[in-house]
Each structure stands twice: as structure tokens, then as C-alpha cells.
């Protein structure tokens, strides 16, 4: 291990607390992102159907069409 790598290792050991606190923040970001994705997953198709029915289209037809495709 050369002196540059030793310096890198020294910094990694010295700032372990900072690295742990960054991980906590990332986990919290990922949690928020996950919830947001789930909300989109669950409600987005419903919003689309609602918009379609508002504009005069039939929600049932839309559902049948997507079921037939599957």
C-alpha cells in the first residue's frame, strides 16, 4: 500500500461517523422515493381512467382493451 492509499485509508477510518450519517440520509431518500413510486403505481392508472371517462371515453372499454392485450 503506497502513501496515497494509506492517506485514503486513514481518512476512511477517521470519518466513519460521517459515512454512517450519509448512509442514513440516503436510506431516508430511498424510502421517500419508494413511497412516491408506490403512490404513482397505485393511483396513476386510476387518474388516467378518470381522465378518459371525463373526456367521454368508457372506462370499461379501456379496461377490456388492456385485458385483451394481455
CB 15 to another protein: min, Å: 6
Site string for another protein, 29-68 (x = CB under 8 A): xx--------------------------------------
Closest CA to 49 of 40, 37, 41, 57: 57
The angle at the Cα of 38, spanning 46 to 70, to the nearest 5 degrees, equals 55
SS3 2: coil
Q: Catalog residues that contact another protein under the rule CB under 8 A.
A: 2-8, 10-13, 15-16, 18-19, 21-23, 25-26, 29-30
Amino acid at each position: 500500500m503506497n502513501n496515497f492509499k494509506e492517506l485514503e485509508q486513514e481518512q476512511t477510518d477517521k470519518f466513519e461517523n460521517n459515512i454512517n450519517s450519509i448512509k442514513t440520509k440516503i436510506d431516508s431518500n430511498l424510502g421517500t422515493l419508494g413511497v412516491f413510486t408506490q403512490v404513482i403505481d397505485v393511483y396513476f392508472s386510476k387518474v388516467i381512467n378518470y381522465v378518459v371517462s371525463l373526456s367521454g371515453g368508457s372506462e370499461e372499454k379501456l379496461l377490456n382493451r388492456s385485458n385483451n392485450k394481455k
